[in-house]
Amino acid sequence: MNSSNNGAIMHRGVAVVTGASAGLGRAIARAFGNNGYDVALLARGLEGLKGAKKEIEAMGRKAIYFEVDAADASAVEEAAAKTEEHLGPIDVWVNNAMNSVFSPIKEMEPIEYKRVTEVTYLGQVYGTLAALKRMQPRNKGKIVLVGSALAYRGIPLQSAYCGSKHAVEGFFDSLRTELLHDKSKVQATMVQLPAMNTTQFGFVKSRIPHKPRPMGKIYQPEVAAQAVLYAAEHDRREINVGWPTLQAIVGNKIAPWFADYVLAKNGYKGQQTDEPEDPSRKHNLWEPLPGDHGAHGLFGSQATNFSPQLWASLHRKEILSAAVAVGAIVLFGKWLKST
């Protein structure tokens, strides 16, 4: 990695991040900007987009933003075209935009399922189509789809979100196989997330009696942003962030019936604080909430900044090399003793 005379990291490419105005998307945008990428920021929240742009520019990189609803395919395509016009060829496209509703299924409205699906699932489809249109003729580029442990294991009170993430996983499988069939050098990776301390728990529409909270162990969004950045620069099919994510995915494959029982018992209380929710609280299902909300939510005191599981996953080659070296030393020592 080279540096310019003013100390800024030299240009490493152009990255597009959807849902970039707040929460995980904001952390992802910062991670790319801090590592030498010019960044195109796509989201609905204007003030958050402006704030993210200033942060990227303060890192010495270029940034451009677009007020875009990820559910609007034509707007996503237009943003992609303007990104290449102003920043140059897109090297990385990160599909991160999401929305959700905390609610029992029996109280959900059909239009709410439609809206969450259009943003959280189809938003990733539309982003992928816009990226492929530009990457395939060049035969290079990386598409990162942001998933969740809930792409494998649905939980109560978030059926629309879980269904959308399941759909993203299926779409990703198809995308990977087609790229392999075509012998394309365009790559796709999916990053599966744990519970995170992001803004979504104060943003999403909710019908549950108490304020929503991340379920289980909570990670700061920078942990996941690190995984997304790594995914953009390495040929990995899938990256799981945090032990709880790996545990949920593997556990559900082994004994889904047991997960049903545990979540039926603990899944309601585990997603709520003890503080009553205001039923008239504003939400961002249809329109963005005003203001620049940054990357973090209200659970910072309970969140961790490090995942040993993720560290081991991202450094598995080094760990294997070290293990081989230690093994060789042990065998050599035994050989010396025997001679």
Taking the C-alpha atoms of residue 1 and residue 3, their distance in angstroms, rounded to an integer, is: 7
The H or E element containing residue 43 is strand 37-43
What's the number of CA atoms in the CB half-sphere (13 Å) around residue 332?
6
Q: Max CA-CA distance within the chain?
A: 80
Strand 142-146: give its sheet, edge to edge: 63-67, 37-43, 13-18, 92-95, 142-146, 187-192, 238-240
**H-type helices in the chain, by residue range?**
23-34, 46-58, 73-86, 110-117, 123-138, 159-181, 200-203, 221-233, 243-254, 256-266, 308-314, 316-338
Distances (CA, A) of 139 to 91, 133, 181, 193: 11, 11, 14, 29
The 8-class DSSP code of residue 42 comes to E
DSSP 56-90: HHHTT--EEEEE--TT-HHHHHHHHHHHHHHT-S-
Q: Tell which residue, 199, 168, 159, has the closest CA to residue 52.
A: 199
Catalytic residue check, 161: yes
Handedness of CA 58, 64, 67, 68 (dihedral sign): negative
From the candidates 37, 126, 152, 161, give the one annotated as an active-site residue.
Answer: 161
Please name the amino acid found at residue 257.
W
Q: Tell which residue, 229, 224, 185, has the closest CA to residue 36.
A: 229
> Which positions ≥6 away from 338 have C-beta within 8 Å?
none
Known catalytic residues are 161
